[in-house]
Amino acid sequence: MALKGFIPSTTGMLAQSHSLSQISTNIANISTVGYRTNETMFYTLLGSNPVVKNNNSGISSSRVDVQGVGYYDRTNVLDQGVISSTGQAYDVAINGNENAFFLVKDVYGNDYYTRAGNFSTLTQNGVTYLVNQNGLKVQGFPSIDGKEEFAANTENIVIEYPEKIPAVPTTEAMIVANIPATGVDKTAIGLTIYGNNHEGETLHLIFNKVEGKTNTWNISFDVEDGTVTSAETEIIFDSSGNLVSPKNLAVNVAWNDGETNNISIDMSKITQLADVDVQTYIEQNGAPSGSFVKSFIGEDGIVKAYYSNGDYYNFAKIALVGFTAPENLSPYEGTLFVANTDTGESFYVNDTSTLVAGAVESSTVDIEEEFSRMILVQRAYSTNANAFTTTNEMLQTAIDLKS
């Protein structure tokens, strides 16, 4: 029976030793991106003796044979780490939504979940993938058209883009300008336009005052390497200098290479005033061709390429996954988690407003808290060791009495 005295202190030392190991692991990972702290939890070990009821002795207990302590580990999955800026193109952090995880896959197609967004690229067999620090492929919704349309199912995010994108043809324009009411019989406004094979040509709108008609001008057009036609040929203002007609001008540009541009020009802001200095302002929706500059993850969670003309080409949108009970995710390796029967249903998190581009989520380790735990564990271990030593001395005394 004396040997039973060693069980509580032995299990206590084993449990506290394990707890110290977890504390050491936490401290070692204080700089690990996306790391979640592990905490050792304790529970009472019960023996197998019958339950003792009140037997007129005044003793009533549900258990009388407590046999030490057991332990298990709990990962604080839902803690939020501090967001730290890195400036790296493929780094991204989740801020403010604890129930959102990046989805990555291994070569066998197994799913893993992580908060560590320190991503990079890996080229295999000529294909460049977005991967995490373990080389697992990051999952996302691939772009359908390189713009704002994305597929419904996730795939490996592939970094693939055209080195150059063509010019965007001009289809709409708006002009703010003033045609002098007096002093001139002819004036012109220059509008820069783009075509698929035209990197910016000046479309001249030429105004000639019509003799015998008040506040009326003929409009004609001129552009290099093309012919311009329009159904409207007269511009009419009222006595106050405001444009009467046409408010919108439909222009067709037939380029010498066979290409055509149909352009709608908003003329409503053109005036005819005397001695008024109106700054000419022109907008149009065309753009020159662009060469690839860089690729990165944006604040919207879209992996994209940026071009010299200011345009973007989208590869994919990063997938975020949530769970009915995310706190039950099982730690797998490093900063990876796996789902189990206790995590409930998984779902895609559509709100990407919590993403922070060029940043990572730091470890959730609180060094002061870990040192406080370490002191408690050291004391508990020493106390259990003293109990073990005392039990051993008592047993030795009993042996000596028998000898």
Q: Is the pTM of this model over 0.95?
A: no
The better pLDDT of the pair 88, 196 is held by 88
Chain segment 252-289, per-residue pLDDT in tens:
999 999 999 999 999 999 999 987 777 899 999 998 99
pLDDT given at position 393: 79
Question: What does the pLDDT read at residue 52?
Answer: 54
Asked if pLDDT for residue 30 goes beyond 90, the answer is: yes
Q: How confident is the model at residue 48 (pLDDT cuts 50, 70, 90)?
A: low
Asked which of 49-58, 68-77, 364-373, 380-389 is least confident by mean pLDDT, the reply is 49-58
Domains with residue ranges and CATH for the chain:
2-75+365-402 (no CATH), 83-164+292-361 (no CATH), 172-284 (2.60.98.20)
3-state secondary structure the chain: CHHHHHHHHHHHHHHHHHHHHHHHHHHHCCCCCCCCCEEEEEEEEECCCCCECCCCCCCCECCCCEEEEEEEEEECCCCCCCEEECCCCCEEEECCCCCCEEEEECCCCCEEEECCCECEEEEECCEEEEECCCCCEEEEEEECCCCCCECCCCEECECCCCCEECCECCCEEEEEEECCCCCCCEEEEEEEEEECCEEEEEEEEEEEECCCCCCEEEEEEEECCEEEEECCCEEEECCCCEEEECCEEEEEEEECCCCEEEEEEEEEEEECCCCCCCCCEEEECCECCEEEEEEEECCCCEEEEEECCCCEEEEEEECEEEECCHHHCEEEECCEEECCCCCCCEEECCCCCCEEECEEECCCCCHHHHHHHHHHHHHHHHHHHHHHHHHHHHHHHHHHHHC
346-362 pLDDT per residue, tens: 999 998 889 999 999 99
